[in-house]
Structure 1
Amino acid sequence: MRSWKERLTHTLLFEAGGLVMVTPLASWLTGHDMGEIGVLAVGLATAAMLWNLVWNRAFDALVPTRRRSLVQRFAQAFGFELGLLVMTLPAVAWWMDIGLMEAFWLDLGFMLFFLAYAMVFNTLFDLVMRRYLAREGA
């Protein structure tokens, strides 16, 4: 089982990397101001960090291994993103002053981006941690 320190490190690295990539992309794609998207992205990232700690801790309890299959990684990433989408949809609509359907499509775009990003990031993070822990144990 992963420690809270490891999970917090994972969360902070994940969200920082995601913000750097998604904020300019979302601003460009939606035509909304970079500042408006940036504030939304930081708010979503904050919600995501809290949800990440809860979701991934629970997922670790259900699938307690660092060597996860592609299906397990997909389930981990999809469950996280779906939960986040459901929780953040009203806030996205309110902040962007758009309807729920438009907010859904915007939030879905974030979800699809982060779904792919999460699968890659989590795989690489586990690989690095396995090597680090093997070296620490040696």
Structure 2
Amino acid sequence: MTGEIDNLPGSQYPTNSEWHAMMYPEWTPEHAEKLFNQYVDINFNSCTKEGLARALHAVQDSYAPGHENFAPWHGTANATFPQWVKIIIDHAWYDNGSYFTRDVRNITKNMIKKWSKQCECQ
């Protein structure tokens, strides 16, 4: 479910960078972090499976090396060939789970447990 977030309409727009713990180039890192936290909270507290998937995806992305410190995201529409190569390599590494450290697994597990308890009646 969390992997599907990358394919949602508008998901890769720079203005939706907070969906992936990244930053629209015109934002400050502080603004990006604020939007990221709001996005995670709103989706997590929606008590829907889609909301949980969105919150998990954002938190998991925050651990991916290419997303560190709310890296700027310019989108894919005008990417140059070297940028596309980097995107492909980063996602090949990311998608095979290499970034998925014990911390990410534990955070994911704890978020699911908390969501299950908080949203059990939904």
Normalising to structure 2: TM-score of the pair?
0.34
Q: Say which one has the larger Rg.
A: 1
